[in-house]
Structure 1
Amino acid sequence: MKDNFSAIPVFVAVVEKGSFSSAAEKLGMTKSGVSKRISVLEDSLGVRLFNRTTRSITLTEAGERFSDYARNSVVIANEGFAALHNLQNTPKGTLKINAPMTFTRLHIVPYIKEFLDSYPDVKVILSMDDRIVNIVEGGYDVGIRIGELEDSSLIAKKLADCKSVLCASPQYISKHGIPSKPEDLSNHNCIYYSLFQAGTEWTFYKDSKKLKIEPKGNFIVNNSDAILEALLNGLGICQMPTFIVAEHLKSNRLISIMDEYTLPKHAIYAVYPERKHLPEKVRVFIEFMHNKLGGGSGYWDK
């Protein structure tokens, strides 16, 4: 059956050119090679497709009937190849994106209209989820990931740095004071993000030393927007990425504390399954977001 399909373009070329030699020239084959492929096809189908003489070939009745189907199949296949080529080389089609909720709401959704205006043949399906999902199994074209990346076959493109600060509201600080070292946090209400990839501990660096503490508090949640709301209401202290709290730090609604300690450095990445044959819709989206987010320090830190 496989040989039958591969022989169809050869059969169509012979029909269109009227001879084995002309078909061979068109296909870049030898005349004997073309003749052999037609003979194998005839043997497989159990019918003679051409009447052969020393000077010419003509289609048999079976060949005439088969030729219409064969030509249509070649036309349809060529249209399919052209469609794939167009899809691969032009930003178009459905782009499925998986990304974390708060970051996406703040720094991707505001640019979606501009992206779609720039690429009107692209349709975006955006799935916002703070859990890490499998890009391949979920059928996603691209994912946005923050923090340390797990070893995998995914290709990663850095979009921006992800800086974090320890912060609290002025109301909380005026009531409970300011911790000066990590050990002091045991006397404070530490709000904890339950999906924190680094584990259950907070890590601090100072003078080439690494210090770890396990935060204790009365509010653990799996959503950064909820943490921000609790921080602004004076509930406690939390490590927060600046892409969430930068504007609140600038307006003094939140205050960074223990600034002499450095928090782990992370980054924001676009991840996708393969670099080879990367669809144009994926390439332009990653490039678009890289330009918008800054590539290095995020625009929110500037």
Structure 2
Amino acid sequence: MSKLPDLEGLAIFAKVVELRSFAGAAEDLGLSKATVSKAVTRLETRLGARLFNRTSRRLALTDAGQGLVEPATRMLAQGEDAENAAMAQSAAPRGLVRLAVPMSFGLSDVAPILPDFLAAYPEVSVDLHLSDATVDLVGMGFDAALRIAALPDSSLVARRLRPVKRYVVGAPSYLERRGRPTHPGHLAEHSCLGYAYLPTPDAWRFVNAAGEEASVRPAGPLRVNNADALMPALIAGVGLAVMPDFIAREALADGRLEAVMPDWTPPPIALHLVMPAGGPRPARVEALTAFLTWALGAKGRGPTGYPPGPA
């Protein structure tokens, strides 16, 4: 009778590959580094091939290891899914929820409200991933994400939470020096600061109340992959930029920045909660998504802590 596969060794191997570190895998799994190392060595002995080339500073997969990554990662994900499905039957939400959020919005709007959620659900933990890049929810194992965009059709389940306003903004010093544009065509004569993750970063598009559309190809001395990084240059009078309200609102309120072209606005976008299709979802995921909908939705948060009272 053949032996059962070394499921533990394969799972630990997949975690080492995911985190690119024996120590990181040990910390993530709550094991000692020696236990992780022994599990990988045991798997290598069983397979008769080295899986990693290891030095004190570098960890690299061998050809044999590379060939094992996909099936081991799939096995780990399936095992986690099986446990998650079982945990979903529990009435009390518990376990880890992986949430992907744009960095600036995560820092300004999501991180401050998470203490209320964690207090309401002490058996739930949140792995908050902050990045402006659009992550592959299914491929990277996320339970949900917040996205600020005009979402294209996709296989994901999307829930619109609230509109997000955007403005063309600049410092008073810049506007006094270079003038105030009133039409998108005027922006061709201005220093425009770019954000790499705009829907069309090489073309700023606008629409007015009559439904007329206009676009311009922005040019300027700075382009970033996080919009908060534009704020020092904007306030210093380096140029103009398209900025969302959750980043620019304080500077607009205190006069460090001013909005221009009030008759023209970028195409509408909104804050969405997106999740992989399928179900049922674990209770912990349902709890967090309900909380985010309540806390970040168009109606805003209630006057007291979470959860809200009956309607």
TM-score band by shorter chain is 0.5 to 0.7
Q: CA deviation at 1:189?
A: 0.4
Q: Aligned residue for 2:237?
A: 234
Report the Cα distance in structure 1 between the residues aligned to 2:108 and 2:265, rounded to whole angstroms. 25
**Contact 2:103–2:131 (CA under 8 A) maintained in structure 1:** yes
SS of 2:152's partner is: coil
Report the Cα distance in structure 2 between the residues aligned to 1:82 and 1:268, rounded to whole angstroms. 27
Q: Aligned residue for 2:120?
A: 118
SS of 2:264's partner is: coil
The structure with the larger Rg is 1
**Could you list the per-position Cα deviations for residues 144-188 of structure 1 after superposition, in whole angstroms to 9, with x for gaps in the alignment?**
111022332110111221111111111211221111211111111
**Contact 1:192–1:217 (CA under 8 A) maintained in structure 2:** yes
Q: CA deviation at 1:298?
A: 10
> Residue 109 of structure 2 aligns to which amino acid in structure 1?
H
Report the Cα distance in structure 2 between the residues aligned to 1:243 and 1:110, rounded to whole angstroms. 13
Q: What is the total number of aligned residue pairs between the two structures?
A: 220
Report the Cα distance in structure 2 between the residues aligned to 1:88 and 1:151, rounded to whole angstroms. 33
Q: Aligned residue for 2:286?
A: 283
**Contact 2:84–2:282 (CA under 8 A) maintained in structure 1:** no
**Contact 1:159–1:267 (CA under 8 A) maintained in structure 2:** yes
With 128-137 and 224-233 compared, the bigger mean Cα shift is at 224-233
> Residue 145 of structure 2 aligns to which amino acid in structure 1?
G
1:225 aligns with 2:232: no
> Residue 238 of structure 1 aligns to which amino acid in structure 2?
A
Percent pairwise identity: 32
Report the Cα distance in structure 2 between the residues aligned to 1:264 and 1:234, rounded to whole angstroms. 25
> Residue 260 of structure 1 aligns to which amino acid in structure 2?
D
Q: Aligned residue for 2:251?
A: 248
**Could you list the per-position Cα deviations for residues 222-246 of structure 1 after superposition, in whole angstroms to 9, with x for gaps in the alignment?**
1111012221221110111111111
CA root-mean-square deviation? 2.3
Q: CA deviation at 1:113?
A: 1.1
> Residue 92 of structure 1 aligns to which amino acid in structure 2?
R
- CA gap of 1:88–1:155, structure 2 versus 1, over 3 A, is farther
Q: CA deviation at 1:296?
A: 6.1
> Residue 241 of structure 2 aligns to which amino acid in structure 1?
C
1:213 aligns with 2:216: yes
Q: Aligned residue for 1:38?
A: none
> Residue 268 of structure 1 aligns to which amino acid in structure 2?
L
> Residue 127 of structure 2 aligns to which amino acid in structure 1?
I
Q: Which TM-score applies when normalising by structure 1?
A: 0.68
User: Which one of the candidate residues 184, 199, 206 is aligned to 1:204?
Assistant: 206
Report the Cα distance in structure 2 between the residues aligned to 1:233 and 1:163, rounded to whole angstroms. 23
1:269 aligns with 2:272: yes
**Could you list the per-position Cα deviations for residues 52-76 of structure 1 after superposition, in whole angstroms to 9, with x for gaps in the alignment?**
xxxxxxxxxxxxxxxxxxxxxxxxx
Report the Cα distance in structure 1 between the residues aligned to 2:272 and 2:179, rounded to whole angstroms. 36
Report the Cα distance in structure 2 between the residues aligned to 1:271 and 1:109, rounded to whole angstroms. 18
For structure 2, list consecutive stretches of 5 or more residues without a partner in the other structure: 1-81, 303-311
**Could you list the per-position Cα deviations for residues 3-49 of structure 1 after superposition, in whole angstroms to 9, with x for gaps in the alignment?**
xxxxxxxxxxxxxxxxxxxxxxxxxxxxxxxxxxxxxxxxxxxxxxx
Q: CA deviation at 1:262?
A: 2.5
Report the Cα distance in structure 1 between the residues aligned to 2:239 and 2:154, rounded to whole angstroms. 36
**Contact 2:168–2:260 (CA under 8 A) maintained in structure 1:** yes
Q: Aligned residue for 2:32?
A: none
Report the Cα distance in structure 2 between the residues aligned to 1:298 and 1:193, rounded to whole angstroms. 30
Report the Cα distance in structure 2 between the residues aligned to 1:147 and 1:295, rounded to whole angstroms. 16
Q: Aligned residue for 1:186?
A: 188
